[in-house]
Structure 1
Amino acid sequence: MKKNLFKPVAYAMIIASVTFASCKKDNPGTDPGADDGTRWITVTGAYPDESGTAGNGGTRAYAISPENAADPNYVIDLFKQDGSKYVVGFGLKSERTARVQASADGKYLYNIQYTGTEGGVFNKYSVSGEGQYEEVGYELNTAVILGTSPRWVKAAEGIGVGVSFGDARDSYTGTAPDYVYQHPKGKIRIANIDLNSTAITNTGSIDIELDEDLEEQGYHIWRADVPILNQAKNKLFIGVGVRKHDLEADGPVAGRGGALSWPTTSAYERDLGTVTYVVDYPSLRNPKMIESTKAVTDNLSYRTMTQYVGDDGHVYQAATSMGSGHQILRISKSTNEYDNNYDFNLNTALGIDDAGIRAWRYIEDGVGVVLYTRTSTAGGYVALINLNDKTATKLNIENEADAGFSGLTADQNGGVELTGTFGQFQNIGVVGDYVYVPMSPNGKDGNLYVIDWKNETVKKGAKLKNASGSFYLGAY
C-alpha cells in the first residue's frame, strides 16, 4: 500500500494572546475544595431538541456514590420535569449534546460545547455529588482555532486536545455540463488544552497533501478525530477519516442541504488501510501518516473515544468508523508505527461474523470492555475482551435485544427512524476493579450495570428512569 504524506505548515499564533482573548469569564469560579473522600461516579444523559430529534437537545449529569451505583433499588430520574423544566441533576452547557470528558478521579468534568453561538467554548466543572456541579476555571473559546464543532478528547490525564478538519476546496471546478474533478485538499487544526489551569498552551495546523497516486484515485481526508498521546508523551496520534471520490462520475451531485459535491464510492471499494496522523508533541510539528495493512476501516467515532494507551505502552485503536468495524489494531510504542503483526478481531473472538464496535474502553493488563451491535439482529451487546490472548466473553444484559440500543431505519420502524443509544454513546466508567456501563434503550428505562472485570461477572445496579427521545450515554 502507498504511504500518505502531509505537508506541514506553521500555524503562527501567540498562545498567550489566544488564551486571554478567549476567556469569557472575568471572574472564574474557584475550586470549592469540599472533598469528603467519595469517588463520585457521574452518569450523563441526552434529551431531545425542540423538534423532537432524540438526544439532540442537550446533556444532563448526575453524580452518585459507588454504593448507590451498585444498588438496583436506587433510582436516577435524570429527565424528570416540572412543566418544561428539568429538575434532577445538572445541565451541562451545550446547544446540542455535550462532548464530555472527566478526570481519572472523577472530581472534574470537561466539555467543549458543540455548535450554536457558544460552539467551541470549553468548560470545566467540579463534582460534589448528585446535581452539585460548579463551573471552575476559565471558559476558553477554542472556536478561534477549531471552529464551533470540534472533535476533542482528554488525550492524557490533565491534557485535552481538540482537532478539526476544514478549509477544503470544492471537489469540482467549472459549470454544467463541463464539470471537472478537483481534489479538495483541506487542513487539520489542533489545539492543546491544559485541563488543570484551563489554558490553551499550543496550536498547530497542517495542510493536507496526499501522495499524487492516492489523489489521482480520488482518496481524500474528510475528518480528524480522537487524538491521543503516547506513553512517552512525545507523539500525538489523530484518527483520520478517508473517503474515495468516484472519478468515473459525470459530475457533482446535490447532497444534504443542496450543496454540490463529487460523489464518493462505496466503502467496500477502498483498498487503502486504516490511517492515523502522527505529530510530534508538544510542538505539534513534523506530521506523518501511518497506515495499517490489517484493516480498511477508519479510526474515528461519533462521540466516543476509540484509542487508548495500554499498560504495555502500545496504543490500541478500534478501527470502527462509528460502528462499521470489528477490529482493534496496535501502534508500537518503540516505532510509533502500526504493528502489522497484530490484529484483534471481535468477530473471531466471539465466534460471530457481524459485530460492529460502537464503544470500548481499555481497563488494565490487556483487558477491555466493548459495546457492540450486530447487523443480523437488533440490540446492543457488551463483552469483556483480552487483547493479549485475543479472546472475548459476552456478558448477559437484561434488555440487550431491544432495538432502542441499535436503532432502526424508517423502513424498519413504520416510517419513523429510531435513533439507537449505542450510536450516541460516549464513555464507559472504570473505578478500580469495576466497570460502569449505563444501559438504557432510546426512551425506555434501563440500569447502570457494574462489571467486575477481574472475575468476569456483571451486576444490575441503579435504575435509570428514562423519557421519550432520551438516553443515558456515559459514566465517568
Structure 2
Amino acid sequence: MRIFSKKHIYFSIIAMAMMAVSCNDNVNEGSGGGDDPEYAENSFTLASEIEAGGQTQNYIDHIDDLTEGEHTFINNGLQVPGERAARVIGHDGYVYSLNYGTGLISQYRPLEAGGYQLIKELNGGAAVGTEYPRYKIVSDDNMMIYNVDVEYVYEDEENQIIKDVIPTMSVATIRIPDLVVTDQHSFVIPTTEESKAQKAYPTRVDAPIASNGKVYFGLMRYEDGNSDKDRVKGLETLVLDYPSLENPTVDYSDVADGHTNGYRTPSMYLAEDGFVYQSNQFMSGFGFDLSQGSKTVITRLSNSVYDDSYVFNVTQALGEEVSTAGWFYVGNGIGYMPICMEDMAGGENNNIWSVAKIDINNKTAVKMNVPLSYLQNYQSGVVDEGKFYMAISPIGGEAHIYEFDPTSDSPDAFKKTVKLDGGNVYIQGIYQ
C-alpha cells in the first residue's frame, strides 16, 4: 500500500507568512494619490476579466454612482495580479485581491483623484500550504483563508484502485485591516458514514459564515475525490468552533443532493432570524448536470446541524429545471440567485444564465426578465439605498449594471443603469 499526495505544500515559509506583510502607504497604483492621499470613501469598485490574445487579465476601477452613466475598462483601471484568476473582496473601504496562482493578497484603497493606493500585501497562501487558496471575510475584524489537500491511499496503485482518501484542511485567520495572520490550524476533515458508504470525500471548502460561536463551511465532495464520477447524494457542511477553529464536525442532510461550497458566488448567509441559509449545486465533470432530477434548494442550519424541517425548493417554485453556483442575500428574507437553465457540460461560456429573485421566508421565486448571460464566475453584488446592484454582461451583447427592487415581486422590477464595455470585457463583480 502506498500513499500518494498531490500537495503543493511549502510550509517552510509559513513563519514568513506570519510576518511577511509589506507595507508602503506611499505606493500609489493608478492615477492620483500623493504623500497624504484623499480616499474615495463612498465609491464602488468594479472588477473585470479581459480576454485578449488567449490571455485573461484582471482589472479593478471605481465609480461613485451606480444609477447612471458609462464606464469602460479599455485603457483604464488598475491591473491586479492573477496567475490563474483574481478573487476580489470589498470591505469597510478596502479592496482585497487574491492572486489565485501565487496566494498573494493585496490590499488597496480607492483614491478620490482616481486609481488605487496599495496599502499592504501578504503571502496568505503560505499560511495554508498552497498557491491556490480561497478566502472570505467572516467579520469586521477577520478574514479566513483555507485549502483542502487530498491524499490518496492506493490498494493497487498500478490499477488505480483507491483504498482510502484523506482530505486535510488547512485554515488561517487573518486580522483586518492589519492583514496579519493570527491563527493557523490543520486537520483531517471528518467523513460521515453516509459519505463513506458512497466513497464520497471532501475536495474543497468555501463560503464560511460565522454565527453563535461556530463557523460553517460548505463542502464539495466527489466519489474517490474524482470530479468525473457521478454526483454524490445528500448535503454536507463542515462546522468548526469560532474563533478557535477547533473541534471539526460534519453534518449531513438527505433533503437534497449536491455540493454546498458555492463556486465564485457565495452559497451561505446569516439571516436576521439567526439561521445560516445555504444553496446547493450539482456538477459532474465540472459542468452542471440537470439529467438526474436534482433540485436546486435553499436549506438552513443552526447550532451546527441542518434544520430538516425547512427546505425551499427553488426549482419547484420557478417551475423549471435550474441549477446555480450560489446566490446573493439582500436582507429581510430576499435574495437574488444566478440560475442556469440547461446542461453546462456542452460549454460553460454560453449565454444560458438568468437571475431569480428568491424569498426564503415565503419560499417563492420569480425569474427576472433580464437578458441571458454568463454568470458562473460572477462574484459580488451590492446593496445601496435599498436597491440591489449587479453587473450582467451577455456574451456578444450589451453589458450594464442592473438595479433590482427587492420590494417588488414583478419579473420586470429592475432597470439598466451604468453602461459597461461588453465584448471581451467581463464584469465579475461590484464591491464596496
Normalised by the length of structure 1, the TM-score is 0.76
1:70 to 46, 50, 67: 67
2:38 to 27, 34, 37: 34
Cα distance in 1 for residues equivalent to 2:118 and 2:417: 29
Cα distance in 1 for residues equivalent to 2:164 and 2:115: 50
Per the alignment, do residues 44 and 129 of structure 1 end up closer, same or farther by CA in structure 2, a change over 3 Å counting? farther
Cα distance in 2 for residues equivalent to 1:435 and 1:263: 34
User: What's the CA shift for 1:424?
Assistant: 1.3
2:313 to 329, 334, 345: 345
User: What's the CA shift for 1:265?
Assistant: 3.7
1:102 aligns with 2:51: no
Question: RMSD of aligned C-alpha atoms?
Answer: 2.8
Count matched residues: 396
Cα distance in 2 for residues equivalent to 1:316 and 1:466: 33
Per the alignment, do residues 319 and 262 of structure 1 end up closer, same or farther by CA in structure 2, a change over 3 Å counting? closer
1:367 aligns with 2:334: yes
Worse overlay, 217-226 or 274-283: 217-226
User: What's the CA shift for 1:122?
Assistant: 1.1
Per the alignment, do residues 26 and 355 of structure 1 end up closer, same or farther by CA in structure 2, a change over 3 Å counting? closer
**Uncovered stretches (5+) of structure 1, i.e. residues with no partner:** 1-12, 81-86, 246-260, 406-420
Does the 8 Å contact 1:70/1:459 carry over to 2? no
User: What's the CA shift for 1:214?
Assistant: 4.3
1:458 aligns with 2:419: no
1:237 to 216, 220, 241: 216
2:383 to 418, 425, 430: 430
The corresponding residue for 1:43 is 46
The corresponding residue for 1:474 is 429
**Equivalent residue letter for 2:62:** A
Q: Which has the higher strand share?
A: 2
Deviations along 1:360-416, one digit per CA (max 9) or x if unpaired, are: 11111111111112018953212221110111222222xx23xxx2xxxxxxxxxxx
Cα distance in 2 for residues equivalent to 1:263 and 1:123: 31
**Equivalent residue letter for 1:34:** E
The corresponding residue for 2:279 is 318
Cα distance in 1 for residues equivalent to 2:198 and 2:298: 27
Cα distance in 1 for residues equivalent to 2:266 and 2:168: 22
Does the 8 Å contact 1:142/1:191 carry over to 2? no
User: What's the CA shift for 1:28?
Assistant: 5.1
Per the alignment, do residues 262 and 339 of structure 1 end up closer, same or farther by CA in structure 2, a change over 3 Å counting? closer
Cα distance in 2 for residues equivalent to 1:155 and 1:378: 32
**Equivalent residue letter for 2:386:** D
The corresponding residue for 2:31 is none
Per the alignment, do residues 21 and 372 of structure 1 end up closer, same or farther by CA in structure 2, a change over 3 Å counting? same
1:140 aligns with 2:123: yes
Deviations along 1:244-279, one digit per CA (max 9) or x if unpaired, are: 24xxxxxxxxxxxxxxx9796411xx33x2101101
**Equivalent residue letter for 2:327:** W
Deviations along 1:101-151, one digit per CA (max 9) or x if unpaired, are: 111x5x211122101xxx111111112358521111343343342411112
1:165 to 144, 148, 173: 148
* Aligned sequence identity (%): 24
SS of equivalent to 2:324: strand
SS of equivalent to 2:316: helix
Cα distance in 1 for residues equivalent to 2:387 and 2:49: 24
Per the alignment, do residues 200 and 108 of structure 1 end up closer, same or farther by CA in structure 2, a change over 3 Å counting? same
**Equivalent residue letter for 1:153:** K
Per the alignment, do residues 320 and 129 of structure 1 end up closer, same or farther by CA in structure 2, a change over 3 Å counting? farther
Normalised by the length of structure 2, the TM-score is 0.83
Cα distance in 1 for residues equivalent to 2:120 and 2:304: 35
**Uncovered stretches (5+) of structure 2, i.e. residues with no partner:** 1-10, 28-34, 290-294, 344-349
Cα distance in 1 for residues equivalent to 2:113 and 2:415: 22
SS of equivalent to 2:105: strand
**Equivalent residue letter for 1:76:** H
The corresponding residue for 2:76 is 88
User: What's the CA shift for 1:29?
Assistant: 5.1
User: What's the CA shift for 1:162?
Assistant: 1.4
2:299 to 305, 315, 329: 329
**Equivalent residue letter for 1:434:** K
User: What's the CA shift for 1:155?
Assistant: 2.1
Cα distance in 2 for residues equivalent to 1:160 and 1:348: 36
1:442 aligns with 2:395: yes
1:192 aligns with 2:173: yes
The corresponding residue for 2:100 is 114
1:279 aligns with 2:243: no
Deviations along 1:5-29, one digit per CA (max 9) or x if unpaired, are: xxxxxxxx99994554433x26455
Does the 8 Å contact 1:181/1:262 carry over to 2? no
SS of equivalent to 2:243: coil
SS of equivalent to 1:148: coil
User: What's the CA shift for 1:183?
Assistant: 1.1
Cα distance in 2 for residues equivalent to 1:394 and 1:307: 21
**Equivalent residue letter for 1:449:** Y
